[in-house]
Amino acid sequence: MTTSAELGLPAITVAPGGVATTTLTVRNDLDIVEAYTFEAVGDCAAWTTVEPARISLFPGTSETVTVRLAPPRSPSTRAGEFPLGIRVLPVERPDLVAVPEATVTVTPFHELRAALAPRRRRGWLRGRYRASVRNLGNAPTAVTFTPGQAGEDLRFAVAPEKLRLEPGESGEVRVQARTRKLIWFGKQATWPFEVTVGPEEGAEGKDAKAGKDARPEAEAAVVQKPVLEGEFVQLPIFPRWLLALLALLIALLLAWFALVRPAVRSSAKQAAEQAVAQQSATPAQPAGAPAGDNPSAPSAGNTPGGQAKPGAGKPSTGPGGQGGPGPGGLAVPGTGQQSSATIDVQTENGASTTGSYQVPHGKVFDITDLVVANFQGDQGVVTITAGNKTITTIALETFRNQDYHWVTPIQVPEDQAVTANVTCEVPGTPASGKQAPTCHELLNISGTLSDIRQGN
């Protein structure tokens, strides 16, 4: 007296995310009415069910139930061959348990999830990116990265060239985009590109062949390859505002040579001619005559009557003289003092922050020197303005310390501000060796702070 059980298929093939079924026939060879329950055992037990889960048989009778296999489409469902057992448990005679077995083949599949960070870079010659990928398939995969661009303006380098990832494992490579030539003057250029992420050539064919017998359509299966979009913004070495500033300086120099120098020479020549004319108009004094005997030659500062002339001998303090009142709204000569200020800007990752220094009321600030410090090596953009003028826009990754000096100062009127706007893309790593949580830039401005003489 015993219990007999037999599976309909000795070997079963199933694809993750799909369903495969077979039958299980149970016969009651006992002399009593027996009830049976079923339990799947082995590596496939988690996604194997028997329907119905319980049956009752009269002596000498049999019944067939359905065994359903539904592996999930996830990295935890590994590809390969696994044993499956169905334990048939008699309720009245548990010692007569039967365990028929079969072999289950789980076919492989590829699925990758990838990302490119940052998506956009700015620089003079090259941009560096990080491409990350995760293997969401159920088989080990060798992943390759293939950058491409519509034209031939960029060259690419990938390190390492490929990654081997187990199911559920993640990895990262470095991608570098480099232009073929510099832009010395003019506008910035934007170069879009793509990075195709996929299994190594030949991996798809091998996986299709592994499941060919049970799933012929696997030969035609197409592996979806993520395509990552990136962009490199190439900056000119000399921006347009610098060219405009040079043109302005040249124009000022030409104007000075054309207008100011001739006026100075003319004034000096006129003063010399007046001195010669005045000397020739004075009567000649007889030889041997003592000074002051000439009644027609009045003494300096006195009238012919011998009384002091009001204002005689005093220096002129008219407009334009040193110490005279300046025109309304202009700096008073002689009141300028050397001054400097530091703007400290700390910015969260992915955000923008503006720091400023405001010129006090009644003052005017002439900027002669400016120093920008990016001591952490942050990545992003800083824009510096003075009043309503933009001084410069710099990519943070292109410098650690940047300084500017002007022969002709940049003037900032009263109540206006010098600002530094920082857009943080990736915080850098300071000397401590640990990546900073925020971007941190310092802007030091130096120059002359002068009083303003208001007009009458």
So what's the pLDDT on residue 426?
A: 93
The residue ranges of every structural domain in the chain are 3-106, 112-234, 330-453
Is the pLDDT at 25 greater than 60? The verdict is yes
Rounded to an integer, the average pLDDT of 110-132 is 92
Residue with more model confidence, 435 or 343: 343
Q: What is the pLDDT of residue 432?
A: 82
Q: Give the residue-averaged pLDDT of 93-102.
A: 92
pLDDT-derived band of residue 261, with 50, 70 and 90 as boundaries? low
Q: How far apart are the first and last CA of the chain?
A: 126
Q: What is the pLDDT of residue 287?
A: 42
Q: What is the mean pLDDT of residues 429-440?
A: 89
Residue 262 confidence (pLDDT): 57
pLDDT of residue 258: 81
Which tokens is 155 given? 């060259």
What would the mean pLDDT of 311-334 be, rounded to a whole number?
A: 42
Amino acid at 447: G
Q: What is the mean pLDDT of the chain?
A: 81
pLDDT at position 134 is 94
Fold agreement between 3-106 and 112-234: yes
Q: Where does 112-234 sit in CATH, by number?
A: 2.60.40.2310
366-382 tens-digit pLDDT = 999 999 999 999 999 99
Q: What is the pLDDT of residue 331?
A: 66
User: Could you give the CA distance from residue 345 to residue 279 in angstroms, rounded to a whole number?
Assistant: 68
Tokens representing residue 236 in the block: 């000119």
Quick one: pLDDT at residue 187?
84
pLDDT range class, residue 90, cuts 50, 70, 90: very high
Percentage of the chain lying above the pLDDT 70 cut: 78
Strands 101-106 and 11-14 come out as: parallel
| For range 438-442, the mean pLDDT | 95
Under 8 Å between Cβ of 304 and 402: no
Instruction: Kindly tell me if the per-residue pLDDT of 70 is higher than 90.
Output: yes
Residue 306, pLDDT above cutoff 50: no
Confidence of residue 237 (pLDDT cuts 50, 70, 90): confident
Weakest-pLDDT range from 257-266, 268-277, 319-328, 374-383: 319-328
Give the pLDDT confidence score for residue 183 in this predicted structure. 83
CA distance 194 to 232: 11
* Predicted confidence (pLDDT) at residue 292 exceeds the cutoff of 60: no
- What integer pLDDT is reported at residue 216 of this predicted model? 37
Range scoring the smallest mean pLDDT among 11-15, 107-111, 276-280? 276-280
The Cα–Cα gap between 107 and 16 comes to 7
Tell me which of 2-11, 45-54, 207-216, 254-263 is least confident: 207-216
Identify the residue with better confidence: 339 or 242.
339
pLDDT at 203: 55
Is residue 205 over pLDDT 90? no
CATH architecture, domain defined by 330-453: Sandwich (2.60)
Contact 450, 331 (CB under 8 A): yes
The reported pLDDT for the residue numbered 330 is: 63
CATH superfamily of 3-106: Immunoglobulins (2.60.40.10)
pLDDT score for 257: 82
The per-residue pLDDT for 213 is 41
pLDDT digits (tens, 9 = 90+) for 391-422: 999 999 999 899 999 999 999 999 999 999 99
